[in-house]
Amino acid sequence: MENWLIYRGQGEPDPERISRLPAPPRWRRFSGRPLPDEPPPIDQSTTRRLGDRAPLPIQDDEALQLINAALYLRRPLLVTGEPGSGKSTLAHAVAHELGLGRVLQWPIVSRSELQQGLYSYDAIGRLQDAQLAHQRRTGGYPATDTDGAGRGDGGEAADDDGIGRYIRLGPLGTALLPSTRPRVLLIDELDKSDIDLPNDLLNVLEEGTYRIPELERLADRPEHRTVRVLDDDGRRVPITEGRVTCSAFPFVVMTSNGERDFPAALLRRCIHLKLEPPRDERLAALVQAHFGAGADEEYDDLVRHFVESDDTGDLKLTDQLLNSIFLTQHAVREERVGRNEIADLLMRPLDRRQQR
């Protein structure tokens, strides 16, 4: 069974393996021509979450198969599960193991809109800059240009020259830039969104393309056919005729704590993975990843404390265990505070704490 697995959850980076991913099914092929740039390397937000090493498989077999299904089918992965079950970290683990570079992150809040994920256009900043430049040249103000194309004042060249400086692609917009290797995009806590966002998102992810009307309007002028804009990695990337179409479909992880249901149309187009909270060997692997080989045995009492009180049905978070171990390493040695006291202090079930 192992053979078909591209992502194996083993923690050791193997950037060559992604090249063994077969071509997408015909209905998930996209026509963008890849840009030459490699993605930026993974950053601290990944290493912070994953720790130094992950010597054992962190995901179970079923989870591995579903993650790989999403990679093969070029479908977004919808990950649900309790807080602390490792939903957000999953995106980082895939990027790290397959060498897919920095994880693009879009944390969703109730105000999030599709547009922000794709790109933003700073029309006011551009207008102000144009006015200042005009003032400097002539000592007066240009006619106001509200369509952002700089057509109204006759000073077009200086104004249009910089439109790319006022457009910044968001995480979704950057993930869809054409590339040979898929980028990893984490759309975190999608269940916090406004009711329209999942459906809006669905269209873009289905088509793998989006338009930037501010650039489309300029595309008939040869000097503005291709404009360089800033992407989410802070790089300047060329956009031609105001349209972006992906090449390799990004590996999209959408997480949800199950605070609300998603439309059936979205579920149909996703691979759904329900993560169980880490227990037993996954928990041991996780402790070793953050505290080094053998740490699971050294802190066996804390791990057991964590797992045993789990039977009460109260919500406990992996982070509470990690925090307890960290504190034990310092406080117990220096201040003679018992390990159990620390465990009791930090590993309180969530419900009890909220009642205070």
Ligand X SMILES: Nc1ncnc2c1ncn2[C@@H]1O[C@H](COP(=O)(O)OP(=O)(O)OP(=O)(O)O)[C@@H](O)[C@H]1O
Considering only residues 254 to 273 of the shown chain, the ones binding ligand X according to CB under 6 A are: 255, 257
50 binds, among ligand X, Mg ion, none (CB under 5 to 8 A by kind): ligand X
Cα separation, 15 vs 98, whole angstroms: 5
Cα separation, 178 vs 200, whole angstroms: 21
CB distance 289 to 51 below 8 Å = yes
Please give the C-alpha separations between residue 187 and each of 88, 267, 312, 345, in angstroms, as whole numbers.
9, 15, 32, 33
CA 78 to chain centre: 12
Q: What is the CA radius of gyration of the chain?
A: 24
Q: How far is the CB of 161 from Mg ion (least distance, A)?
A: 42
Residue closest to Mg ion, measured at CB: 88
Residue 227 or 325 having the CB closest to ligand X: 325
DSSP annotation of 136: H
Spell out, one character per residue from 296 to 325, where the chain touches ligand X: x when CB under 6 A holds, - when not: ----------------------xx--x---
Residue choice 167, 252, 289, 343 for contact with ligand X (CB under 6 A): 289
Residue span binding ligand X (CB under 6 A) among the ranges 46-54, 210-218, 294-302, 329-337: 46-54
Residues 115-135 as b or e (16 or more Cβ within 10 Å = b):
eebbbebeeeebbebbbebbe
Residue 83 or 213 having the CB closest to ligand X: 83
Considering only residues 81 to 120 of the shown chain, the ones binding Mg ion according to CB under 5 A are: 88
Considering only residues 73 to 102 of the shown chain, the ones binding ligand X according to CB under 6 A are: 81, 83-89, 93
Q: How far is the CB of 356 from ligand X (least distance, A)?
A: 20
Residue span binding ligand X (CB under 6 A) among the ranges 49-57, 140-148, 155-163, 301-309: 49-57
Three-state DSSP state, 49: helix
Residue 49 or 74 having the CB closest to ligand X: 49
Residue 102 or 224 having the CB closest to ligand X: 102
| Secondary structure E strands in 74-155 | 77-80, 104-107, 119-121
Q: How far is the CB of 202 from ligand X (least distance, A)?
A: 22
Q: How far is the CB of 278 from ligand X (least distance, A)?
A: 7
Which one, of 163, 250, 253, 278, lies nearest residue 212 by Cα? 163
Residue 87 or 224 having the CB closest to ligand X: 87
Q: Is 318 in the site for Mg ion (CB under 5 A)?
A: no
Q: Which phi and psi (to 5°) does residue 184 adopt? A: -105, 125
DSSP annotation of 4: G
* Residues found near Mg ion in the complex (CB under 5 A): 88
* Residues found near ligand X in the complex (CB under 6 A): 49-51, 54, 58, 81, 83-89, 93, 255, 257, 286, 289, 318-319, 322
